[in-house]
């Protein structure tokens, strides 16, 4: 587990959104989250035909730059395997989320927090939980901004095991 988790954002993501995300992440996970600043996505990860960035490629590029335990918020659409997504995560590496198509700071923060949970080792949950998958916009709206009891216990075990 990291002692510090980095938050990057693209230049067009407003500070109030980044601050809101940081606050929710601290509340849920109790780690030190630090806003590092602006990071520009590499253009070779852009797909003109889909008008989206390849989320896997962007996260992979961060790994090549030896950056781990991060989340990155961008304002452009993301795709994974040719499908539009709100975000993407690789366990023990990092995550990326988009503000595109998400109307409020709360929805953005919930989706980023979900993907940060995956980076930290949490799995998809079937309960009324932040870690429940959001296959649709409506499910994302109704998803809570907190972990269920079981996910809290799992997270505490991960913290004990890796800290």
Mind listing the domains of the chain with CATH numbers?
A: 4-162 (3.40.390.10)
Task: Tokens for 109, please give them.
Answer: 């923060």
pLDDT tier at 39, thresholds 50, 70, 90:
very high
d(CA 125, CA 45): 30
The predicted pLDDT at position 64 comes to 86
Q: Above 70 in pLDDT, residue 163?
A: no
E strands, 13-158, are: 32-38, 46-47, 52-54, 70-74, 78-80, 83-85, 87-90, 94-98
Q: Mean pLDDT throughout 10-25?
A: 96
Task: Give pTM, 2 decimals.
Answer: 0.94
Average pLDDT, the chain: 93
């Amino acid at each position: 587990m990291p002692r510090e988790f980095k938050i990057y954002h693209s230049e067009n993501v407003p500070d109030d959104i980044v601050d809101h995300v940081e606050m929710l992440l601290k509340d849920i996970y109790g780690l030190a989250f630090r806003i590092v600043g602006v990071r520009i996505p590499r253009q070779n990860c852009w797909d003109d035909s889909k008008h989206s960035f390849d989320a896997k490629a962007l996260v992979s590029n961060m790994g090549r730059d030896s950056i781990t335990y991060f989340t990155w918020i961008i304002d452009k659409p993301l795709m994974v395997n040719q499908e539009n997504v709100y975000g993407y995560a690789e366990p023990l590496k990092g995550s990326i989320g988009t503000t595109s198509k998400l109307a409020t700071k709360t929805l953005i923060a919930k989706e980023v927090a979900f993907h940060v949970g995956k980076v930290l080792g949490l799995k998809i949950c079937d309960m009324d939980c932040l870690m429940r998958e959001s296959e649709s916009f409506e499910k994302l709206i109704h998803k809570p901004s907190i972990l269920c009891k079981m996910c809290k216990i799992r997270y505490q075990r991960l913290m004990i095991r890796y800290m």
